[in-house]
């Protein structure tokens, strides 16, 4: 795959941690111009790794990004800058692959986490129903997309009209930053429906994350916590939280 053809879902996560660098600026600001709001460091426009302007249409979003830069100490900590990493990915990657990114999200809907349920034990099945059914019901009402639910792991083909409804819903995401955030949540949770519910304010980030982790939490209760798994989950949650913050800021204006 060429360097211009990176998987937009992975790009949206932007999870690679580069080597830390010393803070090279003193002042942080957000400057408006030509319909965008750009991050400015010491009076100079900040750039993405792809040398594009680090900017977005949403001023609230850029104020959140600016806060990440302002709170850095002597050394920049990429792990403490998840919004910046996600916006970099939106600008350098997703903006050039909007249709491909929408197609990736729609593909998740075709085999969505919420549509595959445990046959046993009943306690897990009940938790899945409580967490998943309200989101699917909301999607059916909001988008006219009623999806089939299956027990077990055998693939179930979804109605073409339901898939078309989801694709139509994704067309509304024409801001690269919003689409990148939606892709990130889809990838992190395994559910396009959860991502859409967060984007439309139907689910708060914490509740969405609990829904996505129903199976994981159930197994942890039965067999105990694994330290490595817990660390990975915490890192994924920070990415999830950043993506939800990005969507909320964009919706704000």
Any idea what the CATH number is for the domain that residue 18 is in? 3.30.2180.10
Give the CATH number for residue 192. 1.10.3580.10
| Contact between residue 200 and residue 185 where contact means Cβ atoms under 8 Å apart | no
Structure tokens at 128: 């899945």
pLDDT, tens only, 46-57: 999 999 999 999
More confident residue, 67 or 2: 67
Local structure of 94: helix, strand or coil: helix
Paired strand residues for 45: 40
Q: Looking at residues 141-150, what average pLDDT do you find?
A: 95
pTM attached to this predicted model: 0.90
Residue 196 and residue 105 share a domain: yes
Q: For 58-75, what is the mean pLDDT?
A: 97
Q: Does the residue 137 lie in any domain?
A: yes
Within this chain, do residues 242 and 140 fall inside the same structural domain, yes or no? Answer: yes
Last residue of one domain, picked from the residues 96, 123, 145: 96
Do both 116 and 169 map to the same domain? yes
| Judgement on whether residues 125 and 25 belong to the same structural domain of the protein | no
Domain count, the chain: 2
Do the domain assignments include residue 1? no
Helices (H), the chain: 8-13, 59-70, 82-92, 98-110, 122-143, 160-171, 176-189, 192-199, 205-212, 214-223, 227-252
* pLDDT over threshold 50, residue 2: no
Asked if 195 and 206 count as a contact pair (C-beta separation under 8 A), the reply is no
Instruction: Return the H-helix or E-strand segment holding 96.
Output: none
Distance from C-alpha of 212 to C-alpha of 201, rounded to nearest angstrom: 16
Q: Is residue 24 part of a domain?
A: yes
Q: What integer pLDDT is reported at residue 224 of this predicted model? A: 87
3 is a domain residue:
no
Regarding whether 169 and 44 lie in a shared domain, the answer is no
What domain range is 29 assigned to? 8-96
**Other Cβ atoms within 10 Å of 171 Cβ, number:** 10
Query: What's the pLDDT score for residue 11?
Result: 54
Q: Which of 135, 108, 148, 126 is nearest to 208 (CA)?
A: 135
Which pLDDT score is estimated for 201? 96
Which of 54, 39, 58, 30 lies closest to 252 in space, CA to CA? 58
DSSP string, 57-88: S-HHHHHHHHHHHHT--SB--GGG-HHHHHHH
- Domain match, 56 and 76 both: yes
pLDDT category at 1 given cuts 50, 70, 90 is very low
Count the Cβ atoms, other than its own, within 10 Å of residue 222.
Answer: 10
CA-CA distances (angstroms) from residue 163 to 18, 51, 189, 237?
A: 38, 37, 19, 28
Q: Give yes or no for residue 4 having a pLDDT over 90.
A: no
Instruction: Specify whether 136 is located in the same domain as 49.
Output: no
The answer to whether the beta carbons of residues 36 and 53 sit under 8 Å apart is yes
Cα angle 204, 206, 230 (rounded to 5 degrees) comes to 160
Task: Pick the last residue of a domain from 74, 96, 118.
Answer: 96
Q: Which of 96, 126, 148 is the last residue of a domain?
A: 96
**N residues, the chain:** 253
Same domain, residue pair 46 and 134: no
In a domain, 160, yes or no: yes
176 and 85 fall within a common domain: no
Q: Are residues 73 and 126 in the same domain?
A: no
Shared domain for 29 and 122, answered yes or no, is: no
Query: Is 172 a member of any domain?
Result: yes
- The answer to whether residues 107 and 89 belong to one domain is no
92-127 pLDDT, tens digit each: 999 999 999 999 999 999 999 999 999 999 999 999
Nearest-CA neighbor of 124 among 30, 43, 219, 56? 219
- CB-CB contact of 45 with 38 (8 Å): yes
| 21 in a structural domain | yes
C-alpha to C-alpha distance for 22 and 197, rounded to whole angstroms = 39
Position with higher pLDDT, 63 vs 228: 63
């Amino acid at each position: 795959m060429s360097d211009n053809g990176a998987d937009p879902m992975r790009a949206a996560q932007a999870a690679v941690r580069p080597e830390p660098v010393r803070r090279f600026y003193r002042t942080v600001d957000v400057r408006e111009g030509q319909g965008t709001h750009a991050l400015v460091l010491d009076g100079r426009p900040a750039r993405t790794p792809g040398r594009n302007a680090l900017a977005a249409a949403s001023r609230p979003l850029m104020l959140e990004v600016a806060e990440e830069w302002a709170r850095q100490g002597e050394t920049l900590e990429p792990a403490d800058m998840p919004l910046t990493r996600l916006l970099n990915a939106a600008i350098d990657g997703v903006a050039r692959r909007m249709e491909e990114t929408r197609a990736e999200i729609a593909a998740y809907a075709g085999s969505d986490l919420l549509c595959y349920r445990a046959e046993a034990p009943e306690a897990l099945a009940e938790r899945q129903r409580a967490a998943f059914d309200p989101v699917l019901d909301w999607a059916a009402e909001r988008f006219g997309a009623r999806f089939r639910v299956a027990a077990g792991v055998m693939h179930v083909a979804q109605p073409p009209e339901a898939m078309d409804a989801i694709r139509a819903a994704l067309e509304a995401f024409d801001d690269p930053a919003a689409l990148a955030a939606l892709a990130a949540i889809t990838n992190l949770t395994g559910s396009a429906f959860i991502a859409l519910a967060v984007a439309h304010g139907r689910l708060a980030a914490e509740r969405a994350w609990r829904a996505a982790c129903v199976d994981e939490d159930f197994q942890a209760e039965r067999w105990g916590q694994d330290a490595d798994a817990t660390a990975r989950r915490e890192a994924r949650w920070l990415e999830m939280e950043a993506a939800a913050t990005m969507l909320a800021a964009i919706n704000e204006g």
